[in-house]
Structure 1
Amino acid sequence: MKRGKGMKFVGDSRVKADGRMKNIPKDYSEYPGKTEAFWPNYLLKEWMVGAVFLMGFLCLTIAHPAPLERMADPAAAGGYIPLPDWYFLFLYQLLKYEYASDVVGTVIIPGLAFGALLLAPWLDTGKERRPLKRPVASSLMMLGVISVIFLTWESVDQHDWEAAAQQGEIVEEGDINTEAEGYEIYVSNQSCIGCHGDTMAGGAGGPTLLDTEKTPEEVINIIQNGSENGAMPGGLFEGTDEELEILAEYIAAHGQPEDE
């Protein structure tokens, strides 16, 4: 005779024959093939699956290490293009829309979404587990998943990856003469140091001025008229023509390769 089968002990006629307390589960033998012991069967399976995913994640981090950018530069922060981690891209994209660019997008919408997710067990108390039998809960969950996927895709698609890679690229600091008159003129113009950095190695949106192989005349032409690709506008220099010539000669001297 199996344990828990066929025997009932009733000490009082007012006690129901079942006699089982509400919080005590039925014996495993009453669910053949549908349940198992938590320890060690179920827990061991969870550990094995977790170990597989952990090893896969570690292999991914070794094969594709996290990209590093240059050190933060407060002087070049004005043109920096920020980008959060991938799991926050949907919120980052949400803030780009006019209707959600303030408290609505930062507090109200995320608060409602995560609040509903936390309260889901109390808001939907149905015992049915099939999605088709729970249309409200299933529809809201699908709406949330689709919204996150769409906003993440839009954020990745609209981001200027080329400019972000250029502004975050790690470059060696330029070995320049900081005692020269040309350097004083360079640092006194915020448009110069703000874009190309204090060592002329590049900054927020500005390329390096080292090893450019430009002549002083070409440097003056770019400063006055802007670059051909339109990345640098003209007319940003604030100074006299004499200072412009000194600056152009200074930049051209540092823009020549070291072997020349």
Structure 2
Amino acid sequence: MAHGHKPDEKIVYVGDTRVRAKTSRLPQPDFSAYPGKSEVFIPNFLLKEWMVAVVCLVGILVLVMSEAAPLGYPADPTNTAFIPMPDWYFLFMYQLLKYPYASDKFVVFGTVIVPGILFGGLMLAPFLDTGKERRFYKRPITTALMLLSLVAITYLTVVSWSHYQHELKEKNIIPEHIKREQEMHAGKGDSGGGAAKKPAAAAAIVAADDPAAEIYKKSTCLQCHGGELKGMPSSGIPALRGVGDKHSKDEIMGIIKKGQGNMGAQYDANIAKGLTDADINKLAEWLGKQKAQ
């Protein structure tokens, strides 16, 4: 820096405004000096996580292919004995919707608001809990909310499963996937190792041209037992073919008037459909003729 105009004055440069161009990449920093940050996230850490996820996915695929999923019978909207159940990881939500304050008039509260608060809180947790402390016992609010959620989910899941088992026992119902598996194993052959037994042929309809057959088509029996009198055994609705071997005409009339099992009384419903007492009497007599032999 010059202070005068003397030709022999020494000039000192105190700075240089020129920006030098980068000639090489910056060296990779040594992350071992930073606790908890031993490697870069992308791509090193992310690649390791991806490889672990692939191994887990392959394991799940092997389990899926090696063990077939238990399937029930085809969906039947007329089966009133069927008890719907979600997968185990949704049992807590299923149980929550059974309570009065989360169903009926409050169904929006149970299906939208409560899950929205739970998942919304989970998404906002990293932004609300910004403390540097990593030990759980020094983060009381976050830890308390986590433990409360775990206890609530565990309790609702256990209660839901226990209630389901109680319903099955009370109504004497075998779950469809278990019943179907039992039938499949029973159909493979007898215990003696002989050939598989063929199912017995269904009995034919007796007196199909009887006037009572037309009365049957107008009755409420048609809705469940079908036009061919085959019923839906998989849903607990017996076939009416061969029903005369089990019940007499008077017994059938008593079933129509008083009901049996899951079927309620049908007498008044048939009267409401336009049948007379004489028609119902002829119907019971015709059903009593339905015998296998």
**Does the alignment reach a TM-score above 0.5?**
yes
Q: 1:68 — aligned with what?
A: 72
* CA distance in 1 between partners of 2:55 and 2:113 (Å): 38
Quick one: structure 1 residues 110 and 155, their matched pair in 2 at CA, closer, same or farther if it must change by over 3 Å?
same
Residue 164 of structure 1 and its aligned partner are, at CA, apart by 7.3
**Structure 2 runs not aligned, ≥5 long:** 1-14, 16-26, 184-198
- SS of the residue corresponding to residue 175 of structure 2 reads helix
What amino acid does structure 1 have at the position aligned with 2:284?
A
What amino acid does structure 1 have at the position aligned with 2:88?
W
**C-alpha contact (below 8 Å) 2:95/2:159 kept by paired residues:** yes
Is 1:165 aligned with 2:175?
Answer: yes
Is 1:234 aligned with 2:265?
Answer: yes
Q: 2:117 — aligned with what?
A: 112
**C-alpha contact (below 8 Å) 2:95/2:157 kept by paired residues:** yes
Match of 2:96 among 94, 97, 102: 94
Residue 61 of structure 1 and its aligned partner are, at CA, apart by 5.7
Is 1:35 aligned with 2:51?
Answer: no
Q: 1:138 — aligned with what?
A: 143
Q: 1:248 — aligned with what?
A: 284
* Number of matched pairs: 229
RMSD (Å) for aligned C-alpha atoms = 4.1
Q: 1:128 — aligned with what?
A: 133
Give the stretch that moved more between structures: 89-98 or 178-187: 178-187
* CA distance in 1 between partners of 2:51 and 2:135 (Å): 27
- SS of the residue corresponding to residue 85 of structure 2 reads coil
**C-alpha contact (below 8 Å) 1:195/1:206 kept by paired residues:** no
Quick one: structure 1 residues 196 and 88, their matched pair in 2 at CA, closer, same or farther if it must change by over 3 Å?
farther
Is 1:215 aligned with 2:236?
Answer: no
* CA distance in 1 between partners of 2:256 and 2:218 (Å): 15
Residue 125 of structure 1 and its aligned partner are, at CA, apart by 1.1
Residue 150 of structure 1 and its aligned partner are, at CA, apart by 1.7
Match of 1:47 among 41, 51, 55: 51
Is 1:150 aligned with 2:180?
Answer: no
What amino acid does structure 1 have at the position aligned with 2:156?
L
1:178-197 map, 5 Å: 181-190=211-220, 192-197=221-226
* CA distance in 2 between partners of 1:166 and 1:42 (Å): 44
**C-alpha contact (below 8 Å) 2:81/2:262 kept by paired residues:** no
- SS of the residue corresponding to residue 67 of structure 1 reads coil
CA deviation vs aligned residue, 1:61-112 (integer Å, no higher than 9, x gap): 6424131332444xx2767543333332222211111111122212221111
Q: Which has the larger radius of gyration?
A: 2
Is 1:225 aligned with 2:261?
Answer: no
* CA distance in 2 between partners of 1:43 and 1:180 (Å): 77
Identity across the alignment (%): 34
What amino acid does structure 1 have at the position aligned with 2:255?
I
Residue 222 of structure 1 and its aligned partner are, at CA, apart by 1.9
- SS of the residue corresponding to residue 149 of structure 1 reads helix
TM-score (normalised: structure 1): 0.66
Quick one: structure 1 residues 117 and 54, their matched pair in 2 at CA, closer, same or farther if it must change by over 3 Å?
same
CA deviation vs aligned residue, 1:227-251 (integer Å, no higher than 9, x gap): 3xx4333354523343224333444
CA deviation vs aligned residue, 1:110-146 (integer Å, no higher than 9, x gap): 1111111111111111222222111111111111122
**C-alpha contact (below 8 Å) 1:90/1:151 kept by paired residues:** yes
Give the stretch that moved more between structures: 216-225 or 202-211: 202-211
Residue 167 of structure 1 and its aligned partner are, at CA, apart by 11
